[in-house]
Structure 1
Amino acid sequence: MASVPPFSTDVVSDWSPMHEAAIHGRLLSLRNLISQGWPVNLVTADHVSPLHEACLGGHPSCVSILLKHGAQVDGVTTDWHTPLFNACISGSQDCVDLLLKYGASTQPASDLASPIHEAAKRGHVQCVESLSAHGGDIDYNISHLGTPLYLACERQHVPCARSLLEAGANANQGRGLDSPLHAAARALNGELALLLMDFGANYQARDAEGRRPVELVPAESPLSHLFLQNEGPPSLMQLCRLRIRKCFGLQPHHKIASLVIPEELKRFLQHI
């Protein structure tokens, strides 16, 4: 059993038994250490706290006890990682929800470590949903990464892309002039391309080199035929659907569900 530490306030330390217990999800050990007087906000030279490690390991029970004992919910490491960012790396929605409950900021302290971008990049759709439901900026554009939707498309995480679009993400915002549809075209992902166009992606958009998405696709590819089928202006029905969804702003899916209109019309507006 670890001895009682020679301090009672938050200090900088080397890797400690607190960090070890947190990263491995050893709840009983963590409880014992806290009861012995180990500080919950003990940080390493890189400002890594036990809470950072519990989130990185995806251990909600450890996250919960640390937060209950006063762990700093928005502590930042020298790499700009917050506990919320680490929870998005692990993909633990339970950890994300706990942090948000204790007031964690969805806005990154630095563009080098954005929680919603990390969740989208890794395809952690439940984390994305929790962040967007708590006011996370689903269209937050970082110059070297683009938007969360762009990252989801670049990594071909279709469920994650759908979740962002359903939450109201702009289907045409990518990285610079490179749109999410350009990313889908390069990946030859027809399912993703169709999803984006269904939510209003502009298949005539041009990238920095002046190329449309269709020009990134081999002529013999089925995706090329899909783009050709969608040549011409959108239908009036599609234009009406996109306009109505835009009027609802963020989280239109949930707002549409509460409308007193025929279920068939609700399903159409919700892309079901």
Structure 2
Amino acid sequence: MDDEGTNQSASKLQGAGGQASATSLSNPLMRDFVSDWSPLHDASIHGRLLTLKKLIKQGSDVNLVTADQVSPLHEACLGGHAACASVLLKHGAQVNGATVDWHTPLFSACVSGSVACLNLLLQHGASLHPPCDLASPIHEAAKRGHVQCVEFLASRGVNIDHNIKHLGTPLYVACENQQVNCAKKLLESGANVNSGKGLDSPLHAAARNRSAELVTLLIDFGADIWVKNDESKRPMELVPPGSPVGRLFLQKEGPLSLMQLCRLCIRRCFGHKQHQKIAGLLLPDELKHFLLHV
């Protein structure tokens, strides 16, 4: 593959992230630290483990970065190649290095949906907290529907209600992108059902997308159907009255049932990670399933 083809491939794989630079740096003092797209980057993004090991043995620097600060470790995680990431980390790759777009290897692993890469990175000291709100791993995983990544990050103590001004909470991002399974996993892990983006709640996002499944899920977890956004509109006012979602809202307008009120109260008492705590209770399976929304 020629250099142009490699750079194009890298650009496509980065997606919303940084792109491999094709700009040559003329300063010879910088050549030991900054590079264009290198064979090490190419081996990492394509998961060529033997080639990667050979290049490292020949003296290639595992922390060689492009002009956009993209390292081989970023590329290994972006490709979801845990074996390559492991080799790079064992040879001293910087686990928290950030690109010019503030993408860390942890963020790249959430782009690819690789739990194996996430686990490796955390074992080597990766920070769960993004260096900048422009690139939050938990938001990216929720946006792309990577449920296992969301579950893994939540189990490791990431702030699942991290509210970013231009994105909102991970739950809001999941609802905005109609990622039902991610939304459910976040709610099971204790996410605030009413915390969204500014005054816009996750239920507003679900209503705007006319997703009956998300609307039902959020209301079951206690979403406020009367809350108003910055346009003074309630979620039900964002859908046509005669539509399936509109009819669903009409059904939910009345007071909650005693069973639903009890379920919400019990879950609030347990706080975060209710699904783990409730599952361990000495209760009949039928009751545990009800509390867990199974």
TM over 0.5: yes
- Give matches, 1:65-144, under 5 Å: 65-144=87-166
Work out which of the residue numbers 164, 177, 192 in structure 2 matches 1:155: 177
- Give matches, 1:1-272, under 5 Å: 11-272=33-294
CA distance 1:25–1:261, change in 2 (3 Å): same
| TM-score after normalising by structure 2 | 0.87
Q: Secondary structure at the match of 1:223?
A: helix
Using the TM superposition, give the Cα deviation of residue 142 of structure 1 relative to its aligned residue in structure 2, in angstroms.
Answer: 0.3
- In 2, Cα distance between equivalents of 1:10 and 1:254: 49
- In 2, Cα distance between equivalents of 1:236 and 1:102: 48
1:5 is aligned to none
CA distance 1:10–1:255, change in 2 (3 Å): farther
Using the TM superposition, give the Cα deviation of residue 232 of structure 1 relative to its aligned residue in structure 2, in angstroms.
Answer: 2.4
Q: Secondary structure at the match of 1:136?
A: coil
Q: Report the identity percentage.
A: 67
Root-mean-square deviation (CA), in Å?
1.3
Using the TM superposition, give the Cα deviation of residue 76 of structure 1 relative to its aligned residue in structure 2, in angstroms.
Answer: 0.8
Using the TM superposition, give the Cα deviation of residue 45 of structure 1 relative to its aligned residue in structure 2, in angstroms.
Answer: 2.0
Q: Which amino acid aligns with 1:256?
A: I
8 Å CA contact retained: 1:10, 1:41:
no
8 Å CA contact retained: 1:171, 1:201:
yes
- In 1, Cα distance between equivalents of 2:91 and 2:45: 17
- In 2, Cα distance between equivalents of 1:105 and 1:234: 41
Using the TM superposition, give the Cα deviation of residue 266 of structure 1 relative to its aligned residue in structure 2, in angstroms.
Answer: 0.8
Q: Secondary structure at the match of 2:140?
A: helix
| TM-score after normalising by structure 1 | 0.94
Q: Which amino acid aligns with 1:34?
A: I
8 Å CA contact retained: 1:22, 1:54:
yes
- In 2, Cα distance between equivalents of 1:134 and 1:171: 20
Deviations 1:56-93 (A, max 9, x none): 11111111111122211111111101001111111122
- In 1, Cα distance between equivalents of 2:119 and 2:155: 10
- In 2, Cα distance between equivalents of 1:167 and 1:67: 30
CA distance 1:41–1:10, change in 2 (3 Å): farther
- In 2, Cα distance between equivalents of 1:247 and 1:60: 39
Q: Which runs of 5+ in 2 are unaligned?
A: 1-30
Using the TM superposition, give the Cα deviation of residue 174 of structure 1 relative to its aligned residue in structure 2, in angstroms.
Answer: 0.6
Using the TM superposition, give the Cα deviation of residue 172 of structure 1 relative to its aligned residue in structure 2, in angstroms.
Answer: 0.5
Alignment size in residue pairs? 264
Using the TM superposition, give the Cα deviation of residue 12 of structure 1 relative to its aligned residue in structure 2, in angstroms.
Answer: 2.2
2:8 is aligned to none
Q: Which amino acid aligns with 2:209?
A: A
Q: Secondary structure at the match of 1:208?
A: coil
Q: Which amino acid aligns with 1:25?
A: G
- In 2, Cα distance between equivalents of 1:62 and 1:251: 33
Using the TM superposition, give the Cα deviation of residue 117 of structure 1 relative to its aligned residue in structure 2, in angstroms.
Answer: 0.5
Q: Which runs of 5+ in 1 are unaligned?
A: 1-8
- In 1, Cα distance between equivalents of 2:34 and 2:121: 23
CA distance 1:10–1:162, change in 2 (3 Å): farther
Which is worse superposed, 138-147 or 9-18? Answer: 9-18
